[in-house]
């Protein structure tokens, strides 16, 4: 229920404020929000965009390799992220907007760490 | 090294510079401190400092005063050649954008932004230094600088094209510094939206020192081959002054980092290759 409410709020915010608006939205389905639990495999801290790779087990036990992009390091630091935010093996819950073509790619809305800390991926203008 | 240069530059200028109020910053910080006191008046003939435009400088859809958002008041006055050249540019943002893997935006592939785009896309914390002969403008994005000559020289009549052109600056009044840039390499896009320019492009920047802590920038595009009349790309974008010990972070386009991004995100997101 909380996720649903959160998704509705995010949906509203996405309409009124472009998400990471310095990057095009053409590839992403901005009407969808997925919240996935997984294990970090790589955290790439670089221009033009940082990205987080993590493995998600589906219902059948198959592992799906996801990759979500964030913004550039400067923007991410202002949002409280850092190069040390993740290491391989970390358990995370990632909320993302997926790409339209169905591949396991997306752009990050937020990440909840095992500690409960929330890192938001939204740049507010 | 930079701070030494900044201080020694101030010592060289013959005019009285109003000193910034003393702030207790032991460590560099990214967000400029907010002062509760009213800003001191603008010093004369001085736009030096570390200037933060905030998020207003990012300009994701194209320049702030003329974004590519489909609105009628943001219709750029193209000539037929201008429109034809525009259509060869495939940007990755704005209403004309293509998928990330399909863009031919040169900046995506780490080509220099050049002028005027360095003012019109990802304009971030900007450092300005003045010497008796010129003004240096140091940009965070791409970690590049420009030189604006104030020694009275004329712009070259037959310039060797440069990504950032050739800039001449003059004080129009005590608080307004006007820069004219010409000789810009045709490979650059005017902005993120892909507006074109010819070798004849003339860019005018007006830097206006509003008060001690505020700078405004206005950018006008003048290219009769591509546009039927000059148009304003940036209209009084405001910068706030950061303290002199402010650490400006790097934002550099690395080809290897971009290749990695494109492999994991850019191409798959465009449906080019499955992972």
Reading chain B (275 residues) residue by residue, the pLDDT tens digits are 444 444 444 444 444 433 333 333 334 444 445 555 688 999 999 999 999 999 899 998 899 999 998 899 999 999 999 999 999 999 988 888 888 778 899 988 899 999 999 999 999 999 999 999 999 999 999 999 999 999 999 999 999 999 999 999 999 999 999 999 999 999 999 999 999 999 999 999 999 999 999 999 999 999 999 999 999 999 999 999 999 999 999 999 999 998 899 899 888 887 754 43
Cα–Cα distance, B225 to B223 (Å, whole number): 5
Which pLDDT belongs to residue B268? 87
Q: Is B69 on the interface with A (CB under 8 A)?
A: no
- Residues for chain A: how many in total? 125
DSSP, res B105: -
Contacts of A73 in chain B (CB under 8 A): 249, 251
| Tens-place pLDDT, residues A76-94 | 998 999 999 999 999 999 9
Cα–Cα distance, B174 to B225 (Å, whole number): 34
Question: For A2-120, which CATH superfamily applies?
Answer: Nucleic acid-binding proteins (2.40.50.140)
Q: What is the pTM of this model?
A: 0.80
Which pLDDT belongs to residue B37? 65
Cα–Cα distance, A107 to B105 (Å, whole number): 21
For chain A, what are the domain ranges?
Answer: 2-120
Structure tokens at A94: 């990632």
Which pLDDT belongs to residue B34? 52
Q: Which of B249, B253, B204, B252 is nearest to B50 (CA)?
A: B249
Measured in angstroms, the CA of B103 and the nearest CA of chain A are apart by: 11
Contacts of B270 in chain A (CB under 8 A): 27, 101
Cα–Cα distance, B239 to B21 (Å, whole number): 18
Structure tokens at A51: 């990205």
The complex's ipTM works out to 0.78
Residue ranges for chain A with pLDDT beneath 50: 9, 11-22, 123-125
Which pLDDT belongs to residue B102? 84
Which pLDDT belongs to residue B24? 36
Of B122, B254, B269, the CB nearest to A46: B254
Inspect the interface and report whether the beta carbons of A105 and B99 lie closer than 8 Å.
Answer: no
Return all residues near B60 (Cβ < 8 A) that are at least 6 apart. Answer: A18, A21, A22, A23, B93, B94, B192
Q: Are B107 and B253 in contact (CB under 8 A)?
A: yes
Cα–Cα distance, B158 to B226 (Å, whole number): 20
DSSP string, A59-101: TTS-EEEEEEE---HHHHHHTT--TTS--TT-EEEEEEEEBTT
- In three-state secondary structure terms, A3 is helix
Of A23, A49, A101, the CB nearest to B93: A23
Q: Is B265 on the interface with A (CB under 8 A)?
A: yes
Q: Are B178 and B169 in contact (CB under 8 A)?
A: yes
State the pairing for strand pair B166-173/B144-149. Answer: parallel
Cα–Cα distance, B214 to B39 (Å, whole number): 8
Which pLDDT belongs to residue B94? 80
Of B100, B261, B268, the CB nearest to A24: B100
Report how many helices (DSSP H) and strands (DSSP E) chain A contains, helices first: 2, 6
Contacts of A67 in chain B (CB under 8 A): 264-265, 268, 275
Measured in angstroms, the CA of A46 and the nearest CA of chain B are apart by: 6
Inspect the interface and report whether the beta carbons of B269 and A23 lie closer than 8 Å.
Answer: no
Return all residues near B81 (Cβ < 8 A) that are at least 6 apart. Answer: B198, B225, B226
Inspect the interface and report whether the beta carbons of A105 and B265 lie closer than 8 Å.
Answer: yes
Q: Are A118 and A93 in contact (CB under 8 A)?
A: no
Of A21, A28, A67, the CB nearest to B60: A21
Question: Can you tell me which residue has the tokens 């310095």?
Answer: A22
Which pLDDT belongs to residue A83? 96
Of A27, A46, A125, the CB nearest to B269: A27
């Amino acid at each position: 229920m909380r996720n649903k409410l959160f998704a509705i709020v995010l949906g509203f915010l996405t309409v009124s404020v472009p998400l990471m608006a310095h990057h095009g939205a053409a590839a992403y389905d901005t009407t969808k929000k997925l919240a996935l639990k997984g294990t970090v495999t790589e955290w790439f801290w670089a221009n033009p965009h940082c990205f987080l790779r993590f493995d998600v087990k589906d219902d059948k036990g198959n592992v799906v390799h996801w990759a979500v992009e964030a913004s550039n390091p400067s923007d991410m630091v202002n949002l409280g992220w850092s190069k040390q935010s993740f290491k391989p093996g970390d358990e995370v819950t990632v909320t993302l907007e997926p790409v339209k073509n169905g591949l396991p790619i997306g752009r990050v809305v937020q990440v909840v760490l095992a500690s409960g800390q929330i890192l938001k991926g939204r740049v507010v203008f | 090294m930079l701070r030494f240069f900044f201080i020694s530059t101030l010592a060289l200028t013959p005019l009285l510079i109003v000193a910034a109020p003393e702030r207790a910053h032991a460590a560099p910080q990214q967000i400029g401190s907010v002062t509760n006191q009213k800003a001191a008046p603008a010093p004369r003939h001085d736009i030096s400092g570390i200037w933060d435009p905030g998020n207003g400088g990012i300009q994701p859809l194209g320049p702030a005063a003329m974004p590519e958002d489909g609105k009628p008041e943001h219709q750029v006055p193209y000539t037929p050649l201008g429109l034809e050249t525009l259509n060869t540019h495939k940007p990755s943002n704005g209403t004309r954008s293509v998928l990330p893997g399909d863009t031919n935006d040169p900046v995506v592939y780490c080509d220099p932004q050049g002028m005027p785009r360095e003012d019109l896309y990802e304009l971030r914390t900007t450092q300005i230094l003045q010497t008796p002969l010129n003004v240096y403008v140091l940009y965070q994005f791409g970690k590049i600088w420009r030189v604006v000559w104030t020694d009275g020289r004329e712009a070259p009549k037959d310039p060797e094209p440069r990504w950032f052109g050739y800039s001449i600056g003059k004080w129009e009044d005590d608080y307004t510094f006007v820069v004219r840039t010409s000789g810009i390499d045709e490979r650059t896009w005017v902005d993120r939206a892909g507006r074109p320019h010819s070798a004849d492009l003339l860019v005018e920047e007006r830097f206006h020192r509003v008060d001690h802590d505020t700078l405004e920038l206005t950018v006008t595009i003048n290219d009769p081959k591509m546009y039927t009349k000059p148009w304003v790309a940036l209209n009084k974008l405001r910068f706030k002054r950061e303290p002199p010990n402010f650490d400006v972070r790097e934002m550099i386009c690395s080809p290897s980092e971009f290749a990695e991004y494109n492999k994991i995100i850019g191409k798959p997101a465009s449906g080019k290759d499955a992972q």
